[in-house]
Chains A and B, each alone.
Chain A
Amino acid sequence: MFSAKLNEKNLATAVSQSLEDEVQGRSLWQAAWLRFKKNRAAMTSVYVLGFIVLCLVFGPMLSQFGHDEIDWAVLMDPYELGRPSIASGHYFGTDDLGQDLFARTMVGGRLSILVGFMGAVVAVIIGCLWGSISGFVGGTLDNVMMRIVEVLDSIPFMFMVILFVTLFGNNIYLIFIVIGMVSWLGIARVVRGVTFSLKNREFIEAAHSIGVSHWKIVLRHIIPNVLGIVMVYASLMVPGFIMFESFLSFLGLGVQPPDTSWGVLISSGAKTLDVAIWQLAFPSLFLVTTLFCFNFIGDGLRDALDPKDR
């Protein structure tokens, strides 16, 4: 009896809630945002990442040294005088050349994150266009375009990128456009699949019937509908690119001095880890935390935007 009453009450609240919903209306994005907000790991990551970005933007202003400025006083004995200390102004210590590690970590981080985003943006643009055109037009064109994706997919692209770097020198932005250009394949596949299922829906038909051009249908009606899933993909790509940039820089193939990045700092820190552990610790800490955040945010977005889970 009691439980029946309880159910009635629940039902009542549910009905009133759904009425409210009808009044208010919740778009797909609002619903996703509500789900995302409930994910504590993802929300924490957003705040931590925000903090890191603030550090990267404003941090260098707090430093008493430029990122490529040599502190000659420290240069005599960087392993003793270059220890992290508030007093000397080198909050994170210095590297072997007496350059301030705090400033270098901040400036290097800008490049690392920027490069991650650039790669993702390029990959998203190409992947969306390729996939939606392939899925929308269908037929022979679709076949050809997807065969191309298949062939490109079995190319070990890390080696291709290094070959590219070898041949054309290491302008880091160029490298990342290249990486973005070879890593849009997954996105293209997903977008094509979704486009295929969207193509025959009523609203597309309606657009056709009032004479909207094909181009415009793809851009205005197909792509907004695949953006959710693409965002999930892209958010998981950014950490991959950041890691790849660090990897290239670690090998000495990425950023060149006086520019710096987390990969460069880690690479030089790894050589002196037995005498100057801070040279490895601070850049690694920032890199790993950033990667953590991006991964959690990506997972959170997937849970929030993936219709399968509802």
Chain B
Amino acid sequence: MVAIPTLLVIALISFWLMHIAPGGPFDMERPMPEIVRANIEAKFFLNEPFFVQFYIYISNFVQGDLGPSFVYQDFTVTQLVAQAWPVSAVLGALSFAIAVPSGMLLGTIAALNRNTKIDYILMSLSMTGVVIPAFVLAPILVTIFSIHLGWLPAGGWEGGKISYLILPVASIAIASVASIARVMRGAMIETLNQPYIRTARAKGLSTAYILARHAMRPSLIPIIAMLGPSFVSVITGSVIIDIFFGTGGMGQHFVSGALNRDYGLVMGITLIVATLTILFNLIVDLLYALVDPRIRL
């Protein structure tokens, strides 16, 4: 329920930031005639009061019109986003789909073999995964797999061919896998220490059955709490990956927009990401209730 006011607040803040930022889109070295300027400003409603402008922007946003890009003259922001969106969606969804189950699996394995070699190896690997940023990992992967071994292409998109997907997805997913595995291990160890698990063992149930039937669900709660942050880290990761691999996703537009001071583009993407994040948090809240019936929404 907080979702819509939150989104409005974000929009208002970013719109206001854009408003007070120095320089306008039509400031040039040679000032244009007053009348021309007034006409242009009227066309983009720049002569209206702040809140009227905001209202116009929001009502256009709701209808899917994000306004013009200030730098890419022939495109609207909506067109730019529409081009980049599928790439980001594929990369993000794939990384997420890989990161969550494999993180959970590794965490569970580590918890089951607590304080053995397997646990230590898995946990030091995951610590490594947590601390190596995507922008260090991606070059390392490229050096190994593209330059020395020559197995995979070093960049590009090519309509999303699988060989072009592997390295970007791996670079995004590894950090999430690692952090999810760490949380899962902690949660699983705590669950396995509960008396009802001992009871289940005493009844002679197999480990697999205990895991699936009794231990998995309570351990999922911290993982669900992690989903929000790891969604954000996937988005963050994909910004880096877009730049490094030149995949042409939203991240590339976002950063080039930021570097070119293309306010319209940056603001449009900020709003889209904010919307996605808020939507995602909403889904996470629903998942909580699904996993733990004691939680009421």
Interface residues of A (CB under 8 A from B): 147, 150-151, 154-156, 158-160, 162-168, 239, 243, 246-247, 250-253, 263, 266-267, 269-270, 273-274, 277, 280, 284, 287-288, 291-292, 295-296
Residue of B whose beta carbon sits closest to that of A244: B236
Q: Is the CB of B2 within 8 A of A154?
A: yes
- Complex interface: chain A residues within 8 A of B257 (CB): 166
B104 interface hit (Cβ, 8 Å): no
**A116 → chain B closest CB, angstroms:** 13
Closest chain-A Cβ to B55's Cβ sits at a distance in Å of: 20
Provide the residues of chain B in CB contact with A246, threshold 8 Å. Answer: 133, 135
Interface residue from B139, B274, B281 paired with A273 (Cβ < 8 Å): B139
Q: Which of B226-283 contact A (CB under 8 A)?
A: 232, 235-236, 239-240, 243-244, 254-255, 257-259, 261, 263, 266-267, 269-270, 273-274, 277-278, 281
Q: How far is the CB of B247 from chain A (nearest CB, A)?
A: 15
Q: A154-B277, A280-B139 are in contact. Are A247 and B236 (CB under 8 A)?
A: yes
A287 proximity list for chain B (CB < 8 A): 133, 136
Q: Are A165 and B258 in contact (CB under 8 A)?
A: yes
Inter-chain CA distance A239–B175, complex, in Å, is 14
Q: Give the residue among B258, B269, B270 with the most A Cβ atoms within 10 A.
A: B258
B17 touches A251 (CB 8 A): no
Given A150-B2, A246-B133: 4 more A-B contacts, CB < 8 Å = A160-B270, A166-B257, A247-B133, A292-B128
Contact present for B133 and A243 (CB under 8 Å): yes
A295 touches B127 (CB 8 A): yes
Measured CA separation A164–B16 after assembly (Å): 11
- Residues of chain A lying within 8 A (CB to CB) of residue B60: none
Cβ of A210 to closest chain B Cβ, rounded Å: 42
Is B142 on the interface with A (CB-CB < 8 A)?
yes
6 A-B residue pairings within 8 Å (CB atoms):
A154-B2, A156-B235, A158-B236, A243-B133, A251-B239, A270-B135
- In the complex, whether B78 has a CB less than 8 A from a CB of chain A is no
Q: Point out the residues of chain B lying under 8 angstroms from A168, CB to CB.
A: 21
In the complex, B10 has a CB within 8 A of chain A: yes
Residues of B within 8 A of A (CB): 2-3, 5-6, 9-10, 13-14, 17-18, 20-21, 127-128, 130-133, 135-136, 138-139, 142-143, 147, 232, 235-236, 239-240, 243-244, 254-255, 257-259, 261, 263, 266-267, 269-270, 273-274, 277-278, 281
Contact present for A277 and B263 (CB under 8 Å): no
Interface of B is mostly: helix
Given known A-B contacts A150-B2, A253-B258, A267-B135, A295 and B130 have beta carbons under 8 A apart? yes
Q: Is B240 a contact of A250 with CB atoms below 8 Å?
A: yes
Q: Which residues does chain A contribute within 8 Å of B267, judged by CB atoms?
A: 163
Please give, as numbers and ranges, the residues of chain A lying within 8 Å of B14 by CB-CB distance.
Answer: 160, 163
Please state if B6 and A292 are interface contacts (CB–CB under 8 Å).
no
Give which listed residue, B9, B127, B263, B269, contacts A167 with CB less than 8 A: B263
A108 to B143, CA, bound (A): 24
- CB of A155 within 8 A of CB of B274, answer yes
Would B270 and A291 count as touching, CB distance under 8 A? no
Q: Does A159 lie within 8 Å of B274, measured CB to CB?
A: yes
Residues of chain B contacted by A277 (CB below 8 angstroms) = 143
Taking a contact as CB atoms under 8 Å apart, the answer to whether A151 and B2 are in contact is: yes
Residues of A within 8 A of B18 (CB): 163, 167
Residues of B within 8 A of A155 (CB): 6, 9-10, 274
Cα-based distance from A84 to B142 in the complex (angstroms): 22
Q: Which of A159, A267, A295 contacts B270 (CB 8 A)?
A: A159
Nearest CB of B to A279, in Å: 10
Contact of B13 among A147, A160, A165, A166 (CB under 8 A): A160
> Top 7 nearest A-B pairs by Cβ distance?
A167-B21, A291-B131, A270-B139, A166-B258, A159-B270, A250-B135, A156-B277
Contacting pair A274 B143 (CB below 8 A): yes
Q: A151-B5, A156-B277, A160-B14 are in contact. Are A295 and B131 (CB under 8 A)?
A: yes
Residues of A with C-beta under 8 A to B266: 162-163, 166
**When chains A and B are docked, how far (Å) is the Cα of A270 from the Cα of B141?**
11
Residues on A with C-beta less than 8 A from B270 are 156, 159-160, 162-163
Residues in B with CB closer than 8 Å to A296 are 127
Q: How far is the CA of A250 from the CA of B255 in the complex (A)?
A: 11
- Chain A residue with Cβ nearest B142: A273
With A151-B5, A156-B232, A156-B277 as known contacts, state yes or no: A288 contacts B258, CB within 8 Å.
no
CB closest chain-A residue, reference B13 = A160
- Whether A266 contacts B135 by the Cβ 8 Å rule is yes
The one of A163, A274, A295 in contact with B17, judged by C-beta atoms closer than 8 angstroms, is: A163
Determine how close the nearest CB of chain A comes to the CB of B119; give it in whole angstroms. Answer: 14
**The residue from B2, B13, B131, B259 contacting A239, defined by CB atoms under 8 A apart:** B131
- Contact status B133-A251, CB under 8 Å: no
Interface centre among A160, A263, A266, A295 (most CB of B within 10 A): A160
Query: Which residue, of B10, B269, B281, has the highest number of chain A Cβ atoms within 10 A?
Result: B10
Residues of A within 8 A of B143 (CB): 273-274, 277
Residues from chain A with a CB closer than 8 A to the CB of B5 are: 151
